[in-house]
Chains A and B, each alone.
Chain A
Amino acid sequence: MVKDLVCGMEIKEQEAAASSIYKGKEYYFCSRTCKKKFDETPERYIESEEREDDESSSEEDDESLSEEEGSSLEEDKPQPEIEKKPVVEKVDKAKSERIDLPIVGMSCASCASTIQRGLTGINGVEKANVNFATSKATVLFQPQLAKPEDFISSVRKSGYEVGTASLELPIQGIECASCVQRIEKALLQTRGVVKAVVNLATAKAKVEYLPSETDLEEIKRAVESTGYKVLEFEPSEEVEDPERMVREKEYKKLKTKFIVGLALGLFVFLGSSRHWFPWIPSFLGNFFVLWILATPVQFWIGWQFYKGAWGAFKHRNADMNTLIAVGTSAAYLYSVVATLFPSFFEAAGMKPDVFFDTSALIIVLILFGRLLEARAKGQTSEAIKKLIGLRPKTARVIRKTKEMDIPVEEVLVGDIVVVRPGERIPVDGTVKEGKSAVDESMITGESIPIKKKVGDEVIGATINKTGSFKFQATKVGKNTALAQIIKLVQDAQGSKAPIQRLADVISGYFVPIVISVAIATFVIWFNFGPFPSLTFALLTFVAVMIIACPCALGLATPTAVMVGTGKGAENGILIKGGESLETAHKLDTIVFDKTGTLTKGEPEITDLVSVNAKSEEEILKYAASAEKVSEHPLGEAIIKSAMERKIELHEPKDFKAIEGHGIEARVDGRNVILGNIKLMKDRGIDIKDLEKKAEEFAGEGKTPIYVSLDGKSAGLIAVADPLKESSVEALEKLKKLGLKVVMLTGDNRKTAEAIARKAGIDEVLPEVLPEDKVHEIKRLQSEGRRVAMVGDGINDAPALAQADVGIAIGSGTDVAMEASDITLIKGDLKGVASAIELSKRTIRVIKQNLFWAFFYNIAGIPVAAGVLYPFFGILLNPIFASAAMAFSSVSVVSNSLRLRRVKLRS
């Protein structure tokens, strides 16, 4: 038997439909099409076959290795610690992966903990986090031990669904069953693909996938890697934004159920209240008719409660579904017994009564609450929707000297893209030709259009205002700034704020306690209640079960975090997670890195003093030549000044940077030293004649740089880095918020203090070497302060990570942004105050929400249990209890939505 390299089918050599000889070796094929494909690109098939062989042999190696380890473990029992080591190491080395699963059908925080418990129980799962507000499960797992399918089936076992998207791809060239297998295998190996079925008859592949993990392009690539072509097709809207489609589908289903339930529930209600509405026909009051009307509401419309309750029960958990299912079932079953065996009640001296209206209306009202909640929850992620909406669909690129419109997904790095006035820039890139002004407000929040010329960078999704230009694409697809921002905001919205732990712990204990309270209420009313005590006991039992729903508690924090982080993104403030948002409101000290953060980061030479009969030009020539290979901003300022004066520079030799102090090099055979007073003293250079002048410069906020030639002082260069226009205003705002502002700089004390005076800063930490920034932050923290660090450079990254909240200025480096908790896309320092203000407001909303959620339950349960009855004769009807419960979650979500209207004054 031989293998057809194109479709993978095993065939007999003598039965092969065709064969080809390539590099002296004969290859056999099941059909002429396979042969044709092979002949076109033989290397591709041979290479992919070799790769497969390598993979399978390495898998075998792995297996045999673990077998060997296993056997050695068994054989050498006396020394288990020594022998066990390699196994442990192997597990440690394995890289864990992360997957996000959209969950459908969650109704409260307890549902989230049910799913979370199921996921955590899977072998290979390191951590699972289910967020109720974002309806998302984030799983950290060891890919060799667990697979995404396991997570999906666990979620389904818990009674919920995973929001997957599906699409049908028309594929060219499928001819045999092996082709089908090959494509299916390739698809299933693609991360995020849950199910793949290829139909030979229709030549179409039906793919079910997780939109958060993969996209159409990746799926297409997987098919094409097997040698088949995906034909052009119009992707349905589902592919464009599948998560939204899933949400909308669920909403529509809920709406239909609600409308049908409302109609049936109304009939049940009218039939049960004939004493209020005597015009109702008498047959509608018949218990059997009411039973028939209430049954679909109980078991079709209310099925989701039973499903959820059972899923939770299996995991030894109880959630709001449990409460609703048990509560309404009690009322329903009591009524069924009263309908079938009225004599049983009559024998006990009671009038048989039914509560079909109670069970049906509770279900309908709760469904109504969920409908409102689903709509409001959709609005909390509006910021993300707005960001996704910014993505342009097409791009005009130049390929083979021709301009053509292509889908934005097909733009490649290096493509030249043409943008006309009024058009959206499709991807990130660098301007190559032409100039224009670009409105970047949607990304940075900066309202004034930014001028762009050749060499400037443009961001995808921003709008070109005035002129036409061509740019070269540098970042496409998932790497564009917009895609990164969307990912960051999505992650932040899905993260949990520490304050939520309280709600999580409480909702975990809450439901079983409520069930206990409800049973106790039933027993007490049955024993001590007035006649008919059974009816009173049943109604209070149902009312307690229904009013005590932990869903408002579960929604209190995550909805506010979602709206808060979304609001931040709209204003150019990217907050990495709930934790950062929460910590930001507790801050009391803000540390600013000076260069590039408070100042423009573009230092200029302001003064030049020469001594020992050297000319200014000569000093500048040596200084600038020595700095030629340095990357320090002060060095750049000296070079720039020399270039402006048209001074010819020479290549330095033996260049040495003394970090935080200066540089040393040889220029034209002369030894040049540039640096601060410490460096000069270390080298034994006499600088007495310059010291006074240097102090004068420092007093003006300028950085004095001594220049020495061949061990003798030659001159002094004063460099100043002007403050950003927004710095003073921003610092004032921070002070108004009651924060202590500290400046961190490598400058000497005098210079630093002069700059601090100009900026209005009270505390200065001068002469701090780059590597000591992190120690300074630690020192401030050890004093009990809550510190935020604001910085932009790579050398700020450790300090940003050490601070309680690291704030990176967006115009800075990617490393700084990576290490920070908050990123200000617009390089404006006013964003620091805005971020803190936003955090304070969000936390205020969370606290309000938690108060109301607790208040509803704490006040509602005793009333429902009938505490007020002996004193005021007030008893809560279970129908009102369900309305109150629905209202509680809606009010909490609406309170969070108020954050959307907040105007950040700073």
Chain B
Amino acid sequence: MLAKLIVTVFGVLLIVLVNWYFFFSRRKEERKQ
């Protein structure tokens, strides 16, 4: 059960991180440029 919870939380965090890194922070940088 704990393993499932850890994987779920970690997975969601990873998705957020991927989208932040490749979309939002990139767009911010592009705007700055």
Contact = CB atoms under 8 A, between A and B. Distances in A.
Given A523-B8, A526-B7, A516 B26 contact: no
Interface string B1-33: 000100110011011001101110110010001
Contact of B11 (A511, A512, A522): A522
Question: What's the interface size class on A, roughly?
Answer: 10 to 19
Nearest to A521: B11
A520 B15 contact: yes
Contacts of B26: 316-317
A489 to B, nearest CB: 34
A520 B11 contact: yes
B18 A523 contact: no
A512 B27 CA distance: 14
A466 B3 CA distance: 87
A539 to B, nearest CB: 15
Given A316-B22, A512-B19, A515-B18, A523 B29 contact: no
A638 interface: no
Interface string A493-517: 0000000000000000101100110
B33 A512 contact: no
B27 to A, nearest CB: 9
Contacts of A316: 21-22, 25-26, 29
A515 B29 CA distance: 22
Contacts of B18: 512, 515-516, 519
B15 to A, nearest CB: 5
Contacts of B15: 516, 519-520
Main secondary structure of the interface of B (DSSP, over half): helix
Main secondary structure of the interface of A (DSSP, over half): helix
Contacts of B25: 316
A20 interface: no
Interface in A507-544: 509, 511-512, 515-516, 519-520, 522-523, 526-527
B23 A512 contact: yes
Nearest to B23: A512
A318 B19 CA distance: 11
A281 interface: no
A318 B21 CA distance: 10
A523 B4 CA distance: 8
B23 A526 contact: no
A108 B23 CA distance: 19
A511 B21 CA distance: 12
Interface string A99-121: 00000000000000000000011
Contact of B7 (A120, A318, A516, A527): A527
Contacts of B8: 523, 527
A527 B1 CA distance: 9
Contact of B22 (A121, A317, A519, A520): A317
A336 B25 CA distance: 34
User: Most B CB atoms within 10 A — which of A316, A522, A527?
Assistant: A316
5 contacts: A509-B23, A523-B11, A526-B4, A526-B7, A527-B8
Given A317-B26, A318-B22, 16 more contacts: A120-B33, A512-B18, A512-B19, A516-B15, A516-B18, A519-B11, A519-B14, A519-B15, A520-B11, A520-B15, A522-B7, A522-B11, A523-B11, A523-B12, A526-B4, A527-B4
